[in-house]
Amino acid sequence: MPHLFTPYTLKGVTLRNRIAMSPMTMFRSTDGKLDDFHLMYLGARAAGGFGLVFAEQIAITPDGRTTTHCAGLYDDDQIEGHKRVVDMIKSMGGVAAIQLGHTGRKGSRVTPWEGGTRMLPPEHEAGWQTRAPSAIAYGGRLPYVPRELTTDEIAQIIQDYADTTRRAVEAGYEWVEIHSANGYLASEFFSPLANQRTDQYGGSLENRTRFHLEALDAVRNVLPDYIPLTMRLGIDDLHPDGVTVDESITAIGWMKEHGLDLADVALGFNADMVQSDIHTSALGGMVKNATRVRTEVGIPVATSYNLGQPELANRVIEEDLLDLVYLGRPALANAHWPVYAARLLGYQDPFSLVPEDWAWWLRRSRGADEAIGWPAATNGAALRDVAGVAAAAPVIEENPISEELAEQWPAESASDGL
């Protein structure tokens, strides 16, 4: 039976375990480059045992960034910064993954700590005229109306995916994900809430998926065959007029025929004020839909959102519900999450996940756990100790999706807030 620490092979790439650091935008780039901060931060996660390490959404064009502080790979000058980071991740035993993104109508923003999701007007020196499938503003704190893309511009953006992929391969990335969630450009094409085009890119599900199939073809065309091509897809807009899970499953089937190797199941976020709490704040809240995609399409899947409790993360692999677990905030909170989880779950030699020279020292701590700030080796009591996180999370009984998941766990675990 596979578990969280079983290696995983997709195409010609093998991860040392099932744990991925989910892409997280850090808003710390200058001129769209990765620098010493990214080397430190991503290198530490690779050294901490993550099998797959994403940096963040990497823009394929300058106007595809969220803010002017966001990273890109739209220029050959940016390759070197990525290469340094990729080399570091590899030297620490991880596989480096890139998430190709374009923010569409959700770009031109300030950094979160300067004002949450506030948007800057096109005339602002740090803002720009956003582009999107249709001239419809997202609304709320993102009020500025994007300009509708022409078909020539769409063709150029498809080419930009390919050009960025070529640079990514040069930098050494061995895993490519197209970002089509969180209300960004590809997700906008997919969603009737953002896409009201009357040409071949709008209207029917076939037309709203055309952009994705063209992007997949363009990327696959320049990607060495051994490198996996994946997509983070917002499969549900949680809105009566938005994308539904059923139609997403149909579209993922088409994407599979166009070279999609794994679906990273996520949400659309194409409408202001969506009722997303049930999925995003419940432990394992996205697992049910991800498993549906896996079963109905017959494609490997991953998902994120509140999977940072080691026992839960392990079980979604053991129970064959997911192929990979993506961790966002847990990876921010703990660069050594995989080692920590291995210890809590009682796997032998958790220090084999860190570089061998550290492992040599750490293994010598046998019987003196407290001396190195390490939880006790037995999993039960130690798990409950650190599960203060679970105590603060919404209780599982309030969430029908998690309730269904909970049925699969022993009652004892569920009552602990799993």
Ligand X SMILES: Cc1cc2nc3c(=O)[nH]c(=O)nc-3n(C[C@H](O)[C@H](O)[C@H](O)COP(=O)(O)O)c2cc1C
Comparing CB distances to ligand X, the nearer of 265 and 351 is: 265
Q: Which stretch binds ligand X (CB under 6 A): 174-182, 189-197, 220-228, 366-374?
A: 174-182
Comparing CB distances to ligand X, the nearer of 165 and 187 is: 187
Q: Which of 144, 184, 201, 347 is catalytic?
A: 184
Q: Pick from 5, 17, 23, 175 the residue near ligand X by CB under 6 A.
A: 23
Binding mask 98-117 for ligand X (x = CB under 6 A): -x------------------
Comparing CB distances to ligand X, the nearer of 165 and 202 is: 165
Q: How far is the CB of 330 from ligand X (least distance, A)?
A: 5
DSSP state of 147: E
Element (H, E) at 301: strand 301-303
Q: How many binding residues for ligand X (CB under 6 A)? A: 20
Q: Pick from 17, 25, 191, 248 the residue near ligand X by CB under 6 A.
A: 25
**Which two three-digit tokens encode residue 320?**
């064959």
How far is 285 from 145, CA to CA, in rounded Å? 33
How far is 344 from 92, CA to CA, in rounded Å? 22
Comparing CB distances to ligand X, the nearer of 101 and 127 is: 101
How far is 368 from 24, CA to CA, in rounded Å? 35
Q: Which stretch binds ligand X (CB under 6 A): 17-25, 117-125, 128-136, 343-351?
A: 17-25
Q: Point out which residues pair with 325 in neighbouring strands.
A: 19, 303
Comparing CB distances to ligand X, the nearer of 176 and 351 is: 176
Binding mask 322-351 for ligand X (x = CB under 6 A): -----xxxx---------------------
Residue number with the smallest Cβ distance to ligand X: 328
Count, residues in the chain: 418
Instruction: Return the residues of window 268-327 that contact ligand X according to CB under 6 A.
Output: 304-308, 327
User: Does residue 67 bind ligand X (CB under 6 A)?
Assistant: no
How far is 180 from 264, CA to CA, in rounded Å? 10
Q: Point out which residues pair with 178 in neighbouring strands.
A: 100, 231
Q: How far is the CB of 336 from ligand X (least distance, A)?
A: 16
Per DSSP, the residues of 209-250 read HHHHHHHHHHHHHHS-TTS-EEEEEE---SSTTS--HHHHHH
Q: How far is the CB of 179 from ligand X (least distance, A)?
A: 5
Q: Which stretch binds ligand X (CB under 6 A): 11-19, 175-183, 195-203, 233-241?
A: 175-183
How far is 303 from 49, CA to CA, in rounded Å? 19
Q: Pick from 38, 45, 179, 210 the residue near ligand X by CB under 6 A.
A: 179
End-to-end, the C-alpha distance of the chain in Å comes to 21
Spatial contact of 70 and 61, defined as CB atoms under 8 Å apart: no
β-strand pairing of 19-21 with 131-132: unpaired
- Block residue for tokens 């996940």: 353
Q: How far is the CB of 358 from ligand X (least distance, A)?
A: 25
Active site residue 184: yes
How far is 104 from 147, CA to CA, in rounded Å? 10
C-alpha separations of 117 from 106, 109, 176, 340 in Å: 9, 7, 27, 33
Q: How far is the CB of 281 from ligand X (least distance, A)?
A: 9
Chain centroid offset of residue 111 CA: 19
- Block residue for tokens 């050009």: 163
DSSP state of 182: T
Q: Pick from 68, 134, 182, 399 the residue near ligand X by CB under 6 A.
A: 182
Instruction: Return the residues of window 193-252 that contact ligand X according to CB under 6 A.
Output: 232
Q: Which stretch binds ligand X (CB under 6 A): 163-171, 176-184, 348-356, 370-378?
A: 176-184
The residues assigned a catalytic role are 184
Q: Which residues bind ligand X (CB under 6 A)?
A: 22-25, 56-57, 99, 179, 181-182, 232, 304-308, 327-330
